[in-house]
């Protein structure tokens, strides 16, 4: 129940979101994560808010920080201090993984460049996350999520139309860089079993955004077509998107001709009407398809419409607010809400890890997913314990 990375030691030098998210993913998998923070202020995100939560008589806590730092221990080190640098060197000697998201070159200037880390610990896996890459004509640029979303093309695909670029509602380039980084670390740990040596894994906010272009990318690289934002409807499948009905909205997807025919049968529409018979035709006549369906849905409430779509076997769903998502039994059944005991806030609920693990045997499956999680740490709360451990 301790996780597949039980026994792996991670030294987390990162701050803000991309790196901390990667480290939290490793911690969720059972690794021991020691988060190194600056004395006094700590991780930048400790000051990001509102919202803040402040217990009576205690220091305020940023909900932003709480989102990316469960299952970690906090140690404060001043990397310009000789004694603290020696403590970091000792951590590196013992570590399996080191994570950093300083601007390229910063860690080397602090005395912990790639060659130094390899000399201290040849088996060390290092994850380095930057804004736009560690080399290239614009390598070294500072990276911030929304800027990366724009520079990486994601905002041009998001919004109500081509003249309305919008960012994604969460810092998606940060989160994706963290996810790709954690994936790279696990791969490097596996490789180390074969080679006996560590390696350096590098990714960036730009790489993460371009890495999820998917069919939007090949529309250009192969098809020569530059897609633009077009609201809540799919560029290559119709109908697939958000539709208005009486007093609300419903999302539905017809990813096959069979689903299209089921939809038409349920609502008395002609699936073979001119310009409607195939997905290619419907994509070319998207606005007419949307108008046709919304006219058919005009007198149907969202609840009734969802029930009829489910009965017809057409994939559909509602648009939930976040409070509805976390109150939803399906969300809770997947372990996506976890309760932890915070040092100053007491019992709090956090969004949970998205992975579950099962052991398969002759008698069926047994879940081995980690169940107990540690709350995000108070700044420097592990100072004495970690220093005593290093001293020992």
Question: What CATH number did the domain enclosing 271 receive?
Answer: 3.30.1540.10
Q: Are residues 51 and 103 both part of a single domain? A: yes
Global confidence as pTM: 0.93
Q: Are residues 189 and 258 both part of a single domain? A: no
Q: Are residues 62 and 171 both part of a single domain? A: yes
% of the chain at pLDDT higher than 90: 92
pLDDT at 341 over 60: yes
Q: Are residues 209 and 279 both part of a single domain? A: no
Q: Are residues 187 and 254 both part of a single domain? A: no
Q: Are residues 306 and 345 both part of a single domain? A: no
Q: Are residues 41 and 67 both part of a single domain? A: yes
Q: Are residues 137 and 197 both part of a single domain? A: yes
What is the average pLDDT across 328-341?
95
What is the average pLDDT across 226-253?
96
pLDDT recorded at residue 56: 72
Last residue of a domain, one of 251, 286, 317: 317
Residue 1: pLDDT band with limits 50, 70, 90? low
Q: Are residues 24 and 145 both part of a single domain? A: yes
- Look up 174 and say whether it is catalytic: yes
What Å distances lie between residue 206 and 211, 245, 298, CA to CA?
Answer: 8, 39, 42
| Domain membership flag for residue 98 | yes
| Domain membership flag for residue 62 | yes
Per-residue pLDDT reduced to its tens digit, 130-143: 999 999 999 988 88
| Domain membership flag for residue 259 | yes
> What CATH number is attached to the domain comprising 187?
3.40.50.10540
pLDDT recorded at residue 55: 79
Domain that holds residue 302: 240-317
pLDDT at 392 over 70: no
| Domain membership flag for residue 1 | no
| Domain membership flag for residue 258 | yes
| Domain membership flag for residue 325 | no
| Domain membership flag for residue 233 | no
pLDDT recorded at residue 361: 87
Q: Are residues 103 and 204 both part of a single domain? A: yes
Domains in the chain, number: 3
Q: Are residues 260 and 350 both part of a single domain? A: no
Q: Which of 43, 78, 174, 299 is catalytic?
A: 174
| Domain membership flag for residue 304 | yes
Q: Are residues 54 and 147 both part of a single domain? A: yes
Q: Is pLDDT larger for residue 60 or for residue 129?
A: 129
């Amino acid at each position: 129940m301790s996780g597949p990375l039980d026994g792996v030691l991670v030294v987390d030098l990162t701050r803000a979101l991309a790196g901390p998210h990667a480290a939290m993913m490793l911690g969720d998998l059972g690794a021991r994560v020691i988060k190194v923070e600056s004395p006094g202020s700590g991780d930048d995100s400790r000051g990001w808010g509102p919202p803040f939560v402040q217990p009576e008589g205690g220091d305020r806590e940023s909900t932003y920080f709480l989102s990316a730092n469960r299952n970690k221990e906090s140690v404060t080190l001043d990397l310009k201090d000789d004694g603290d640098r020696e403590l970091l060197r000792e951590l590196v000697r013992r570590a399996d993984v080191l994570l950093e998201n300083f601007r390229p070159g910063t860690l080397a200037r602090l005395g912990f460049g790639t060659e130094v880390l390899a000399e201290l610990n040849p088996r060390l896996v290092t994850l380095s996350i930057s804004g736009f890459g560690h080399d290239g004509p614009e390598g070294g640029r500072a990276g911030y999520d929304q800027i990366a979303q724009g520079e990486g093309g994601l905002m041009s695909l998001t919004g109500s139309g081509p003249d309305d670029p919008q960012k994604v509602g969460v810092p998606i380039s940060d989160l994706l860089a963290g996810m790709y980084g954690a994936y790279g670390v696990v791969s490097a740990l596996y490789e180390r079993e074969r080679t006996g040596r560590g390696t350096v894994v590098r990714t960036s906010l730009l790489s993460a955004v371009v890495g999820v272009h998917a069919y939007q990318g090949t529309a250009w690289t192969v098809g020569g077509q530059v897609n633009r934002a077009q609201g809540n409807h799919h560029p290559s499948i119709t109908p697939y998107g958000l539709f208005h009905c009486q007093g609300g909205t419903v999302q539905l997807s017809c990813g096959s001709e069979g689903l299209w025919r089921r939809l038409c049968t349920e609502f008395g529409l002609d699936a073979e009407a001119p310009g409607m018979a195939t997905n290619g035709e419907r994509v070319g006549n998207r606005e007419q398809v949307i108008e046709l369906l919304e006219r058919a849905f005009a007198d149907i409430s969202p609840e009734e419409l969802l029930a009829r779509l489910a009965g017809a076997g057409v994939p559909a769903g509602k648009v939930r607010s976040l409070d509805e998502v976390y109150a939803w039994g399906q969300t809770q059944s997947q372990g996506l809400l976890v309760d932890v005991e915070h040092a100053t806030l007491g019992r709090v609920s956090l969004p949970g890890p998205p992975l579950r693990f099962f052991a398969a045997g002759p008698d069926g499956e047994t879940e081995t997913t980690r169940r107990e999680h540690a709350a995000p740490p108070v700044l420097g709360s592990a100072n004495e314990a970690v220093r005593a451990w290093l001293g020992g």
